[in-house]
Amino acid sequence: MQLSGRKPGERVQRTLGDLSPGEEGVLDRLELPNDVARRLMELGFLPGHRVTRAMAAPGGDPTVYRVDGSEVALRRETASRLRLRDHQPPAASDIASARLSA
Protein backbone atom coordinates (compact mmCIF):
# COMPACT_ATOMS: atom_id res chain seq x y z
CA MET A 1 0.00 0.00 0.00
CA GLN A 2 1.40 3.38 -1.01
CA LEU A 3 0.47 6.36 1.13
CA SER A 4 2.26 9.09 -0.82
CA GLY A 5 1.62 10.50 -4.25
CA ARG A 6 5.09 9.46 -5.37
CA LYS A 7 5.81 6.61 -7.72
CA PRO A 8 7.89 3.75 -6.28
CA GLY A 9 11.59 4.57 -6.63
CA GLU A 10 10.95 8.24 -7.42
CA ARG A 11 13.44 10.61 -5.78
CA VAL A 12 12.20 13.46 -3.63
CA GLN A 13 14.10 16.73 -3.91
CA ARG A 14 15.43 17.85 -0.53
CA THR A 15 14.56 21.20 0.96
CA LEU A 16 16.39 23.61 3.24
CA GLY A 17 14.29 22.26 6.11
CA ASP A 18 15.77 18.77 5.56
CA LEU A 19 19.32 19.87 6.42
CA SER A 20 20.84 18.64 9.68
CA PRO A 21 22.69 21.07 11.96
CA GLY A 22 25.99 22.00 10.30
CA GLU A 23 24.98 20.44 6.98
CA GLU A 24 25.33 22.46 3.79
CA GLY A 25 23.27 22.44 0.60
CA VAL A 26 23.18 24.31 -2.68
CA LEU A 27 19.96 26.20 -3.34
CA ASP A 28 18.16 25.18 -6.52
CA ARG A 29 14.94 27.21 -6.47
CA LEU A 30 12.50 29.12 -4.28
CA GLU A 31 8.88 27.96 -4.46
CA LEU A 32 7.40 31.02 -2.78
CA PRO A 33 5.23 33.99 -3.73
CA ASN A 34 7.22 36.57 -5.71
CA ASP A 35 7.38 39.16 -2.92
CA VAL A 36 8.68 36.64 -0.36
CA ALA A 37 11.14 35.10 -2.84
CA ARG A 38 12.44 38.55 -3.79
CA ARG A 39 13.07 39.46 -0.14
CA LEU A 40 14.91 36.20 0.52
CA MET A 41 17.02 36.72 -2.61
CA GLU A 42 17.94 40.17 -1.30
CA LEU A 43 19.21 38.40 1.83
CA GLY A 44 21.40 36.04 -0.23
CA PHE A 45 19.12 33.06 -0.87
CA LEU A 46 19.97 32.83 -4.57
CA PRO A 47 19.97 29.70 -6.73
CA GLY A 48 23.48 28.25 -6.79
CA HIS A 49 24.47 29.68 -3.39
CA ARG A 50 25.54 27.43 -0.53
CA VAL A 51 23.36 27.50 2.57
CA THR A 52 24.36 25.98 5.92
CA ARG A 53 21.96 25.10 8.70
CA ALA A 54 23.12 26.63 11.97
CA MET A 55 21.10 26.59 15.19
CA ALA A 56 17.39 26.29 15.89
CA ALA A 57 15.05 27.54 18.59
CA PRO A 58 14.33 25.04 21.39
CA GLY A 59 11.17 23.83 19.64
CA GLY A 60 12.98 23.66 16.30
CA ASP A 61 11.19 26.63 14.75
CA PRO A 62 12.57 29.01 13.55
CA THR A 63 15.95 27.75 12.35
CA VAL A 64 18.97 29.90 11.57
CA TYR A 65 20.69 29.44 8.20
CA ARG A 66 24.04 30.90 7.10
CA VAL A 67 24.12 32.30 3.59
CA ASP A 68 26.38 34.82 1.89
CA GLY A 69 28.06 35.86 5.16
CA SER A 70 24.80 36.44 7.04
CA GLU A 71 22.65 34.47 9.44
CA VAL A 72 18.92 34.45 8.72
CA ALA A 73 16.15 32.78 10.75
CA LEU A 74 13.42 31.07 8.71
CA ARG A 75 10.25 29.34 9.81
CA ARG A 76 9.91 25.65 9.02
CA GLU A 77 7.15 26.32 6.47
CA THR A 78 9.34 28.78 4.53
CA ALA A 79 12.44 26.55 4.66
CA SER A 80 10.41 23.65 3.28
CA ARG A 81 9.74 25.65 0.10
CA LEU A 82 13.40 26.33 -0.70
CA ARG A 83 14.56 23.40 -2.83
CA LEU A 84 18.13 22.11 -2.86
CA ARG A 85 20.05 20.70 -5.79
CA ASP A 86 20.49 16.96 -5.85
CA HIS A 87 23.79 15.93 -4.34
CA GLN A 88 26.07 14.67 -7.07
CA PRO A 89 29.00 12.53 -5.93
CA PRO A 90 32.30 13.72 -7.43
CA ALA A 91 33.24 12.11 -10.73
CA ALA A 92 36.22 9.74 -10.78
CA SER A 93 38.16 12.24 -12.94
CA ASP A 94 37.61 14.96 -10.30
CA ILE A 95 38.94 12.68 -7.57
CA ALA A 96 41.98 11.74 -9.65
CA SER A 97 42.84 15.36 -10.48
CA ALA A 98 42.46 16.33 -6.80
CA ARG A 99 44.96 13.62 -5.83
CA LEU A 100 47.45 14.77 -8.47
CA SER A 101 47.32 18.37 -7.32
CA ALA A 102 47.88 17.46 -3.66
* Separation between Cα atoms, residue 65 and residue 78, nearest integer Å: 12
pLDDT of 61 > 70? The answer is: yes
Right CATH number for 16-88 from 1.10.150.20, 2.30.30.90, 1.10.1740.10, 2.60.120.330?
2.30.30.90
* Separation between Cα atoms, residue 18 and residue 11, nearest integer Å: 14
Read off the pLDDT band of 4 (50, 70, 90). Answer: very low
pLDDT of 89 > 70? The answer is: no
Instruction: Give the pLDDT score at 54.
Output: 94
- What residues contact residue 28 under an 8 Å CB cut-off, 6+ apart? 13, 47, 83, 84, 85
Q: Delimit the domains of the chain by residue range.
A: 16-88
Average pLDDT, whole number, for the chain? 82
Instruction: Give the pLDDT score at 22.
Output: 93
Angle at 60 between CA 79 and CA 22, to 5 degrees: 70
How far, CA to CA in Å, does 16 sit from each of 26, 53, 98? 9, 8, 29
Instruction: Give the pLDDT score at 58.
Output: 87
pLDDT of 63 > 90? The answer is: yes
Sign of CA dihedral 70, 74, 78, 80: positive
pLDDT of 1 > 50? The answer is: no
